[in-house]
Amino acid sequence: MSAPRTAFLVDVDDTLLDNDRFRDDLEQHLERTYGAEARSAYWTIQERRFVDLGYRDYLGAVQEWWESDGRDPRLLAVSGYLLEYPFADRLYSRALDVLARLRELGPTIVLTDGDAVFQPSKVARAGIGEVADALLVYVHKEDELEDVERRFPADRYVLVDDKVRILAAAKLHWGERVTTVLPKTGQFANDPDLLAAHPAPDVTIEGVGALLDRQDLLGE
């Protein structure tokens, strides 16, 4: 079978759902339940693991936090909070409609950074997996574009992501074969220093829902 004409690659955090809001909720929950000192301790571990691993290891940070705090049984409930968090309530407007529409036009792959447990759980709880063809999770997806193409070959790609550095890496890798789309949602998409440090994406939209109004990107 020949490769499809266009495949759509869509990010999760701050592209399909408001991950900044999730992080705020988590911080507030930790402080309300365990106090400011405990919240700070967890987040210090979280930030260090992010530097060491290259992704947000929410559950691993709970494990380390629990062990470093004398295995306080109260802390075990944080893993439940994370795994049961209502990510469907944090979806941006029309996010699932966008995925369903893209899927009618070509293979639609959720392409995200993260770990092999929490990130797939997040995608599932948000209902994203039900309206996409596949989920690909990498530690640094910008370094795995050859693997993406091997798994989902296509003549052309449309990549939707809130991080300009990832869009720039895709443009460098695929050249004119990729259309890079930046939704202006989340802290990274609106950071003037990050925007100035990388080439402008091909297309900038207010949010992922605006894709439904862009027939040029949909190949129609």
Give residue-wise pLDDT tens across range 145-182.
999 999 999 999 999 999 999 999 999 999 999 999 99
Summarize the confidence of residues 174-192 as an average pLDDT. 96
Residue 193 CA to residue 179 CA, distance in Å, equals 23
Per-residue pLDDT of 68-85, as tens digits, reads: 988 889 989 999 999 999
115-139 pLDDT, tens per residue? 999 999 999 999 999 999 999 999 9
Q: Is 75 exposed, middle or buried (0-12, 13-18, 19+ CB in 10 A)?
A: buried
Cα separation of 7 and 93, whole Å? 22
The pLDDT value given to residue 35 = 95
Q: Which domains does the chain have, with CATH numbers?
A: 6-18+91-218 (3.40.50.1000), 19-87 (1.10.286.50)
Q: Any idea what DSSP says for residue 139?
A: S
The CA distance from 34 to 15, in Å, is 31
b/e sequence 8-27, b meaning 16+ C-beta within 10 Å: bbbbbbbbbbbbeebbebbb
pLDDT at 1 over 60: no
pLDDT at 219: 59
Tokens of 117: 């447990």
35-72, pLDDT tens digit by residue? Answer: 999 999 999 999 999 999 989 999 999 999 999 988 88
pLDDT on residue 214: 87
Torsion angles phi and psi, residue 64, rounded to 5:
-65, -40
pLDDT at 216: 80
- Give yes or no for a contact between 10 and 136, defined as CB atoms under 8 angstroms apart: no
